[in-house]
Structure 1
Amino acid sequence: MPRKPNYDRTDLINRSRDLFWQRGWAGTSLKDLEAVLHMKPGSFYAAFGSKDALFELAMAQYAADGLARINALVEKHGALKALQRFPMMAIDNDDAPAKACMLSKTLLELQAHKHPLAKEANQHLLRMEGSFADLFAQAQSCGDIDDAHDPKVLARRYQSDLLGLRVSAEREGCDARAIATEIADSLARL
């Protein structure tokens, strides 16, 4: 009978997510993963198959976490207020290994090499953009945003603003909090 693994798979994925988020795909070696996960090579391969397979799981967890954060804001504050609060939340997480978005970092790092993980990162970004479009549509249905605006266009611009904000938060001397406030204030004028 096969032995039951004595590790928490979700915890391992979360720890690898943080390492990949901080260092990127190329900057994270198998030895780095084995050290952070406290696994030997055989156990690593038995659990995840490959570095790429684990990276894909880590990206999916990252995307799910982001969606859960925005959904929690929607539950508490409604669609428009959630969209307004999310930019500050994205940069105020001191526990995050990096301020920049893991998905956009992956896309930029791997797209030039036509790596399949770049396409996967882009798919996650497109799904998030679709979620933002749904929130803009909800805000319109509540009368918080004028119906003259296309929710898909608003979502595309909003996501672009968020990605720029998160890169700005990585820059020394940049007032990312002021930018987050500007993004939130701009939504109130819709």
Structure 2
Amino acid sequence: MPRKPSYDRDALIAQARDLFWQQGWAGTSLKDLESALNLKPGSFYAAFGSKDALYALTLERYAQDGVARLMAMADEMGPLRALKAQPHVVIDEREMPARACMLAKTYAELQSKGHDLADKAGCHMADMKASFATLFRRAQQAGEIGPDHDPDRLAARYQSDILGLRLSAERRDVNAVEIAEDIAADLDRL
């Protein structure tokens, strides 16, 4: 009878996500993962199969958590207020191992190499953009933004602003809080 693993798979995925988020795909070796997760090589392969398979799981977790957090904020405070709060949430360094978006970092790192993980990151970014569009539609239906705006176009621009903000927040010479306030204020002009 096979032995039951003595680890919490979800906790390991969260730990690996944070390591990959900080160091990137190429910057994280199998030895780094085995050490951080406290797994021997055989246990690592039994649990996840490969570094790429684990990375794909971490991307999925990252994306699901981001969409869930955004939608919970929208349910709590309404779609437009959630969209206005999002820029501040994504640069809050207390909860994140890095400020730059893990999906964007992955896409930038691996897309030119034709790596499948870049495609996965791109799909997750498209899902996030669709979530933004949903909230812009809901805000439009609630009369919080004008009917002449295209929610899909607003979502694409908003995602671009958020991704730029998150990358800028990594820099010491940029006041990310001011930029977050500007992004939120721009939404009031819709």
Scaled by the length of structure 2, what TM-score is found?
A: 0.99
SS in 1 for 2:169: helix
Q: Match for 2:111: what amino acid?
A: Q
Q: Partner of 1:11 in structure 2?
A: 11
Q: Within 5 Å, which residues of 2 pair with 1:149-164?
A: 149-164=149-164
Amino acid in the other structure paired with 1:184: A
**Letter matched to residue 103 of structure 2:** L
Supply the RMSD in Å over aligned alpha carbons.
0.6
Amino acid aligned to 1:20: F
**Unmatched 5+ residue regions in structure 1?**
none
Q: Distance in 2 between matches of 1:9 and 1:146?
A: 46
1:83-98 → structure 2 map (5 Å cutoff): 83-98=83-98
Alignment partners' CA distance in 1, 2:69 and 2:158? 16
CA distance in structure 2 between the aligned counterparts of 1:78 and 1:93, rounded to whole angstroms: 24
Measured against aligned partners, the alpha-carbon deviations of 1:67-119 in whole angstroms (never above 9, x if no partner) come to 11111211110000000001000001323111000000000000010000000
Q: CA deviation at 1:178?
A: 0.3
Deviation at 1:50, TM superposition (A): 0.1
Where does 1:70-89 land on structure 2 (aligned, <5 Å)?
70-89=70-89
Q: Would you identify which runs of 4 or more consecutive aligned residues in structure 1 move more than 3 Å?
A: none
* 3-state SS, counterpart of residue 181 of structure 2: helix
Report the identity percentage.
58
In the alignment, what sits opposite 1:144?
144
Q: TM-score, normalised by structure 1?
A: 0.99
Once the two structures are superposed, the pairs formed by residues 7-156 of structure 1 within 5 Å of their partners are 7-156=7-156
Runs (5+) with no aligned partner, structure 2: none
Q: Partners of 2:61 and 2:93 in 1: how far apart?
A: 17
